[in-house]
A and B are shown apart, each in its own frame.
Chain A
Amino acid sequence: MTERRLRRALVAVTMFAAVLVVAMVAIVFYWQAYLLGPSDEAFTRGPYLVRVGDSSAELHWRQDSSAPVELIAWAPGAGPSMAVDGRFTALRPGTRYSWTASIDGVARAAGSFRTAPATLAEPITLVAIGDYGSGDDHEWAVARVAAAQDPSLTVTTGDNSYLNAAGPLLDRNIFRPLAPLLQRAPLVVGLGDHDTFPPGPKALLDAFDLQAERHVAAYGPLQIIVLGVDGDATGVAEFAAKALAEPGFTRRLAVVHRPLQPGDPLLDVLRGRVDAVLSGHLHRYERRVVDGMLTFTVGTSGMGPGDLDFTQRTAGAAVSLLDYGLLRIDLRADGTTYTFIDERGRVLDRLAVP
Chain B
Amino acid sequence: MIALRTVCLVAAATAATAGAVLERPGVFAMFGSCGLVLFVCGSGLTVSDAIPCRRGAFASSLACTVAGPLLVVRPPTVVAVAAGIVAALGQLAVLGAAIRSRSAGTTSAAT
Q: Which residues of A contact B (CB under 8 A)?
A: 7, 10-12, 14-15, 17-19, 21-22
Give the contacting residue for A10; candidates B4, B40, B48; CB below 8 A. Answer: B48
Does B43 lie at the interface of the complex (its beta carbon under 8 Å from any beta carbon of A)? yes
With the chains together, A18 CA to B1 CA distance in Å? 17
**Are A14 and B39 interface neighbours, CB within 8 A?**
no
**Are A14 and B36 interface neighbours, CB within 8 A?**
no
Could you list 25 A-B pairs, sorted by A, with CB under 8 Å? A7-B48, A7-B51, A10-B47, A10-B48, A10-B51, A11-B4, A11-B45, A11-B47, A11-B48, A12-B44, A14-B43, A14-B44, A14-B46, A15-B40, A15-B41, A15-B44, A17-B43, A18-B39, A18-B40, A18-B43, A18-B44, A19-B40, A22-B36, A22-B39, A22-B40
Within the complex, what minimum Cβ distance (angstroms) separates A5 from chain B?
A: 13
**Are A11 and B44 interface neighbours, CB within 8 A?**
yes
With the chains together, A12 CA to B1 CA distance in Å? 11
B40 / chain A contacts, CB cutoff of 8 Å: 15, 18-19, 22
Within the complex, what minimum Cβ distance (angstroms) separates B102 from chain A?
A: 15
With the chains together, A7 CA to B43 CA distance in Å? 13
With the chains together, A21 CA to B45 CA distance in Å? 16
With the chains together, A24 CA to B9 CA distance in Å? 26
Q: Which residues of B contact A (CB under 8 A)?
A: 1, 4, 36, 39-41, 43-48, 51
Task: List 17 other contacts, CB 8 Å, given A7-B51, A11-B4, A11-B47.
Answer: A7-B48, A11-B1, A11-B44, A11-B45, A11-B48, A12-B44, A14-B44, A14-B46, A14-B47, A15-B40, A15-B43, A15-B44, A18-B40, A18-B44, A22-B36, A22-B39, A22-B40
With the chains together, A12 CA to B39 CA distance in Å? 13
With the chains together, A22 CA to B68 CA distance in Å? 11
Main secondary structure of the interface of A (DSSP, over half): helix
Within the complex, what minimum Cβ distance (angstroms) separates B95 from chain A?
A: 16
Within the complex, what minimum Cβ distance (angstroms) separates A18 from chain B?
A: 4
A12 / chain B contacts, CB cutoff of 8 Å: 44
A11 / chain B contacts, CB cutoff of 8 Å: 1, 4, 44-45, 47-48
With the chains together, A19 CA to B48 CA distance in Å? 17
With the chains together, A7 CA to B41 CA distance in Å? 14
With the chains together, A15 CA to B42 CA distance in Å? 8
Most B-side CB within 10 Å, residue of A10, A12, A14, A17: A14
A10 / chain B contacts, CB cutoff of 8 Å: 47-48, 51
Within the complex, what minimum Cβ distance (angstroms) separates B94 from chain A?
A: 15
Within the complex, what minimum Cβ distance (angstroms) separates A309 from chain B?
A: 72
With the chains together, A331 CA to B41 CA distance in Å? 76
B44 / chain A contacts, CB cutoff of 8 Å: 11-12, 14-15, 18
- Chain B, residue nearest A17 (CB): B43
User: 5 closest Cβ contacts across the A-B interface?
Assistant: A18-B43, A15-B44, A11-B44, A14-B47, A18-B40
With the chains together, A11 CA to B45 CA distance in Å? 7
B36 / chain A contacts, CB cutoff of 8 Å: 22
With the chains together, A203 CA to B72 CA distance in Å? 56
With the chains together, A18 CA to B61 CA distance in Å? 14
